[in-house]
Chains A and B, each alone.
Chain A
């Protein structure tokens, strides 16, 4: 099925460890996004990529880095995980043609930092 695939689905890290969250979409979308979702805080944008080769900071970029590897893949890296980064992370993609097209989300990565 077409869509956004995120790996892993669950991860537990110790403080200071690093990891990369992977995201791939097969809809030929230009824009890709990384969000975190915390109780009572809604979805907050970490980084986004409007097109292959470009990345920009969102609302909460500190402690994260991203790579737009190609048009399909957009990865999120935590260099030195902190307990404050415990969250559910969602990758999303969007077609840049017209406002009628919404965002397609992956099923999320549930990250716990202990």
Chain B
């Protein structure tokens, strides 16, 4: 069984602060995705990374895939209350189309 460990589990910060969420595994993934889930809704895809060392930016969010494709990070610059939500990472191995999800990082950004 492939496991994805996310850290931290909870994060409570003030508006304007920076933060990083980590997603780690001992397994190699062919792709890794990040989702944000708001209360009462399903997860929504933010980004997919597929190449070791790849960095993608989505406005104030920066996503990085580790060189060995075993880990990933999500960095948010100058967090805003609208960033509040549950952030999930999901990895796929070898084109299986069966993802392994991390347990999520619950982020609260206080105004």
Residue in chain A with minimal CB distance to B99: A103
Chain B positions within 8 Å of A43 at CB level = 43, 88, 101
Q: How far is the CB of A110 from chain B (nearest CB, A)?
A: 8
Tell whether, in the assembled complex, residue A48 and residue B103 are in contact, meaning their CB atoms are under 8 Å apart: no
Question: Mask for B6-49, Cβ within 8 A of A = 1, else 0?
Answer: 00000000000000000000000011010100001111110010
Chain B positions within 8 Å of A94 at CB level = 97
- Which of B48, B90, B97 lies at the interface centre, i.e. has the most chain A CB atoms within 10 A of its CB? B97
Chain A positions within 8 Å of B30 at CB level = 99
B61 at the interface (CB under 8 A from A): no
The range of chain B's interface size is 20 to 34
* Given contacts A48-B98, A100-B50, A42 and B104 within 8 Å (CB-CB): yes
Chain A positions within 8 Å of B101 at CB level = 42-44
Tell whether, in the assembled complex, residue B103 and residue A42 are in contact, meaning their CB atoms are under 8 Å apart: yes
Residue in chain B with minimal CB distance to A96: B97
Q: How far is the CB of B69 from chain A (nearest CB, A)?
A: 11
A102 CA to B88 CA, complexed, in Å? 13
Tell whether, in the assembled complex, residue B48 and residue A101 are in contact, meaning their CB atoms are under 8 Å apart: yes
Tell whether, in the assembled complex, residue B42 and residue A108 are in contact, meaning their CB atoms are under 8 Å apart: yes
Chain A positions within 8 Å of B44 at CB level = 105
A53 at the interface (CB under 8 A from B): no
Tell whether, in the assembled complex, residue A107 and residue B97 are in contact, meaning their CB atoms are under 8 Å apart: no
- Which of A101, A102, A104, A106 lies at the interface centre, i.e. has the most chain B CB atoms within 10 A of its CB? A102
Q: List 7 A-B contacts (CB under 8 A).
A: A43-B88, A96-B97, A99-B50, A99-B95, A103-B45, A107-B41, A107-B42
Give A residues with C-beta under 8 Å from B.
4, 31, 40-45, 48, 50, 58, 90, 92, 94, 96, 99-108
